[in-house]
Chain A
Amino acid sequence: MSFNLLVLTCLGYVALLFAVASLAERSAEEGRAGWLRSPLVYTLSLSVYCTAWTFYGAVGYAARSGLEFMTIYLGPTLVFVGWWVILRKLVRIGRENRVTSIADFISSRYGKSNLLGVIVTLLCISAGTPYIALQLQSIAQSFTVFVTDLDSAPVAGDRTLIALWVAIGLAFFTIVFGTRNLDANEQHHGVVTAIALEAVVKLVALLAVGIFVVWGVAGGPADVLARIDAQALPDWQVQPGRWTGLILLSAIAIICLPRMFQVLVVENVDDKHLATASWAFPTYLFAISLFVLPIAVLGMERMPPGSNPDMFVMTLPLALGRDDLALLAFLGGFSAATSMVIVASLALATMVSNHIVVPLWLRLRAAQGQDTGDMRLLVLNVRRLSISIVLGFGYLYYVLSGGSEALAAIGLIAFVGVAQILPALLGALFWRGASRTGAALGLSVGAALWAYTLLLPSFGAGVILPAQVMNDGLLGLSWLRPYGLFGLTTLDPLLHALFWSLLVNVLAFCLGSFLSFPSPIERVQGALFVNVYDRPGPARSWSRPLAQAEDLLPMAQRIIGATSAQTFFQAQASAQGKDGFLPDITPEFLEALELKLAGSVGAATAHAMIAQSAGTAVVSVEDLMAVASETAQIMEYSSQLEAQSEELSRTARKLREANDKLRKLSVQKDAFLSQISHELRTPMTSIRAFSEIMMDADSLSPEEQAHFAQVIHDESIRLTRLLDDLLDLSVLEHGQVQLDIAPANLRKLLDQAVTSSKSVQADRHFRVLRSRDEEEVMITTDGGRLTQVFINILSNARKYCTSDTPEIHIQVRQVQDRVEIDFTDNGAGIPTANQALIFEKFARLTDSLQAGGAGLGLAICREIMHNLDGDIVYVPGQGGASFRVSFARILTTRAARREAAE
């Protein structure tokens, strides 16, 4: 196949990627990105884990070490199978805090510390740059393998030149789709969609070659298994240490690799996609690795000895005359390499711009006292520059290392490098006590050990580390040998580095956290991250706003753009119930603004910028206390208000009741007045009539005169009695009554009352049920008044009891030094509605003719009982009307009672 054709195919494929990416971007802008952000696309974008190193390298790896290549896929499988434990929390926190990169995540958790951001960024760059170089190498290598015609050899054979063009092309693509705008969520629809497409291409390519090999070349699965055993080398024996260690290492890497964090957390649009990816991504890995071993085995069988097993995916179909399959495999490898480079350079560039360049630039400007100018364009340009720099580094690394075999090992070396982030990351997720100092210490020590024991020696003795150091240790101390630290010489160099760097990393991280004291903002962020499921929304970190909205709006405009900033401010203002663009500067507003800015420039920078404008650089413990006490005050005040309003409603209810009572009484009083007029008028009328008759004394017989005089007399007595009652009540009510206190026998008083009451409706037979033994109580009280009460109750019973065989039950009880007497008849009783009224003055339930009284009886009784240090109440639900009279057995004088009370 000619070189030109190959280049043309490549360009066509890249053009397709551009088209897909820009289509996705346009759809997203128009809000039609539904299917673009589906779980499927999310899962496919995760396949950026499978780089050219896995596409080409896995076969080579399998040819050299047998099954061990599977560890690189089994570790991530375990992480996704256990997605509920770590990934779910990671993604949730990342989305809630609008994290822009793994450096931003660590920096944000540990008190928005930029120092940590810088450390993680440097670590990721030193691990990521060689990895990018590896991708460039594999693309260049695949070109040269493919090209067979001699005409184009001068160009095709120059791998450096190919790598340069690939790097430039990828930088261009990443800049166009990665820095299109400063997205609030730092999400890149175009990039993700293009990567998803590339994921499909590389899977299809590998599967096609695999199927061809298994069924086209070999005789099916059983034949392949036999050939595997036939080709097995002694090196293929599974080594327990490496097997376990590599599974763990790749599990760590899938969480900590910057490009994986980018697609897994930053580009995630919905937590639920993770539920799909949890099984779909392991399935992808399974499919990718299914045919690796057969391809490797048949390559070893068919290819001449000494050919590079890393290129079997392409060289095997070529050797067997299947150029079309080889071209597909070439595109697959190309996809794997480009997708990794795009995402990795995007993630690294975001870190570089957010944690190194922008903070530096801000500090420089602030030191010079200059305005910060248009941040938006600045940040975009910094990011474009960073992408170019990162890719430039990768290219430079490739050129300097000369495409050596050492580069092939860089994949696992990079894994160990990013694994240094793991302790700080897990601490961020699960340990509230993890502190900034601990994280910084652990990261630095771990990174230093990784560089000394793995990265620097990997270039070969004498390149960076002198051969003398390699053999005899630093400063001639043998226990400082890079591959045999502290005498651990039996371990494989990779495991040796992993063991020491992670051990010391964790140790420093824990010790630093145990011994340091975190700042308030660190503790707030710690609680926020670890307890992400307990509380919706981020914690409050702004308490004493000093800035004006007029100052913040221009700043926000510089970062997120004028329209977007104005819309945001307007929305915030209207949420506060204000018109216009300037909301009140509340802590809530500042938090929302910070979160918004953090989506563009990272948490640490956003915090620093608002701090600069708002004037509160650090949230002190005092601020937090103030917030807390303010809350406490509000709560206290509101509970006071609540109590007050409860009291008010109680009072209102009482007033309403009193009012009701007054109104009823007023009605009764009117009725009474009309009735008492009637009562007074009736006797007065008869007295007047009969006295007029008697004035004509001549015409009357003496008998008639006597009769009329009797009538006049009777009527006068009625009048007098009425007036007596009124007078009596008035005296009793004012407590001016003179009590005649003397010892008396209760039974005798009751006997007297029963006898006296017989005159009322004397013709009715009335049974009185008593138990005389209990009535034998000696009391000391005003016997005459008490008898009056009894007579009244008994007379009422005789008058109102509706029963045909009326009877009244008198029960006497002694309760401590008080006496209770129940008078219960078997009539209809008193309706509930009237029970509250019967003791009121002038109250009468039936009409006056039947009653024959003025309705004062029970009112007088109650006043009497009050004067006797007792009471009379109506007891409902006793089968008839029931009155309970209670009083002190031994009544002291009022003066004595008052003294006792005092």
Chain B
Amino acid sequence: MKPPSALPFLARETYRLRRLMDAARFLPVFGFVLLLLPLMRADPQTGTTSAAGEAVYLFLVWPALILGTFLMSRGLRKAFDPSPPPAATAPLVPQRAADPDAARKD
């Protein structure tokens, strides 16, 4: 028997957008934890941290966060665009295939 070549999930785009929204909510928490790492580092001999080392670390985490936000914001922009928001197009797909999240208000 040939496996079904069609994708079983019809509302892929809506699903992707919703997961992207979840990621956007999660990113600042993740970023905050990364920014706290310098507190937990110390040279075992002197018990102090190197200011230059930590500065390099922070100035690397920072652009990484910016890059993540930049990539996400391009996808999230879609949530503003359509006059009926993505959630409203959910009825177009079969009920079972619709993302259970689609009914959630956010």
Contacts and interface: CB of A to CB of B under 8 A. Distances in A.
A293 B55 contact: yes
Contacts of A276: 73
Nearest to B62: A286
Interface in A48-95: 66-67, 70, 74, 77-85
B65 A77 contact: yes
A67 B38 contact: yes
Nearest to B54: A67
Interface in B26-77: 27-29, 31-32, 35-36, 38-39, 48-52, 54-56, 58-59, 62-63, 65-70, 73-74, 76-77
Contacts of B59: 286, 290
Given A244-B39, A275-B77, A286 B66 contact: yes
Contacts of B65: 77, 81, 282
Interface string A261-296: 000000000011001101100110010001001000
Interface stretch (A162-170, A233-241, A490-498): A233-241
A272 B80 contact: yes
Contacts of A70: 58
A236 B46 CA distance: 14
A283 B76 CA distance: 19
B51 A247 contact: no
Contact of B52 (A225, A271, A282, A533): A225
Contact of A283 (B24, B28, B49, B66): B66
A78 B32 contact: yes
A268 B74 CA distance: 19
A852 B77 CA distance: 84
B80 A271 contact: yes
A247 B35 contact: yes
A226 B52 CA distance: 7
Contact of A82 (B28, B38, B39, B105): B28
Contacts of B85: 533
A290 B55 CA distance: 10
A238 B67 CA distance: 26
A77 B54 CA distance: 18
Contacts of A237: 48-49
Given A244-B36, A278-B73, A534 B105 contact: yes
Nearest to A225: B52
A430 to B, nearest CB: 11
A293 B35 CA distance: 18
Which secondary structure characterizes the binding site on chain B? Answer: helix
Contacts of A777: none
A279 B39 contact: no
A228 B52 contact: yes
B21 interface: yes
Contacts, number: 104
Interface string A226-265: 1011001000111010011001000000000000000000
B2 interface: no
A236 B49 CA distance: 9
Interface residues of A, number: 39
B21 to A, nearest CB: 6
Contacts of B13: none
A82 B21 CA distance: 10
B46 to A, nearest CB: 10
A282 B66 contact: yes
A276 B59 CA distance: 21
Contacts of B32: 78, 247
A238 B25 contact: no
A531 interface: yes
B39 A243 contact: yes
A237 B39 CA distance: 9
Given A229-B51, A279-B69, A531-B105, A84 B24 contact: yes
Contact of B28 (A79, A226, A275): A79
Contacts of B21: 84
Contacts of B24: 82-85
Interface in A185-236: 225-226, 228-229, 232, 236
Contacts of B54: 67, 238
Contacts of A278: 69-70, 73
Contact of B58 (A67, A79, A271): A67
Contact of A238 (B49, B66, B69): B49
Contacts of A282: 62, 65-66, 69
Nearest to B71: A279
A77 B32 CA distance: 10
Given A81-B31, A282-B66, A238 B38 contact: yes
Given A67-B38, A238-B54, A82 B25 contact: yes
A312 B36 CA distance: 29
B52 A81 contact: no
Interface string A839-855: 00000000000000000
A238 B36 CA distance: 10
B80 A275 contact: yes
Contacts of B76: 84, 275
Contacts of A283: 66
B106 A81 contact: no
B28 A74 contact: no
Interface string A552-565: 00000000000000
Interface of B: 21, 24-25, 27-29, 31-32, 35-36, 38-39, 48-52, 54-56, 58-59, 62-63, 65-70, 73-74, 76-77, 80, 85, 105-106
Given A67-B38, A237-B49, A243-B38, 11 more contacts: A78-B28, A81-B69, A82-B25, A83-B24, A84-B76, A237-B48, A272-B80, A275-B73, A279-B70, A286-B62, A290-B59
28 contacts: A67-B55, A74-B58, A74-B62, A77-B62, A77-B66, A80-B69, A81-B28, A81-B31, A81-B69, A82-B25, A82-B28, A83-B73, A85-B25, A225-B56, A226-B52, A228-B51, A229-B50, A238-B38, A243-B36, A243-B39, A271-B80, A272-B80, A275-B74, A278-B70, A279-B70, A286-B66, A290-B59, A533-B85
Interface of A: 66-67, 70, 74, 77-85, 225-226, 228-229, 232, 236-238, 240, 243-244, 247, 271-272, 275-276, 278-279, 282-283, 286, 290, 293, 531, 533-534
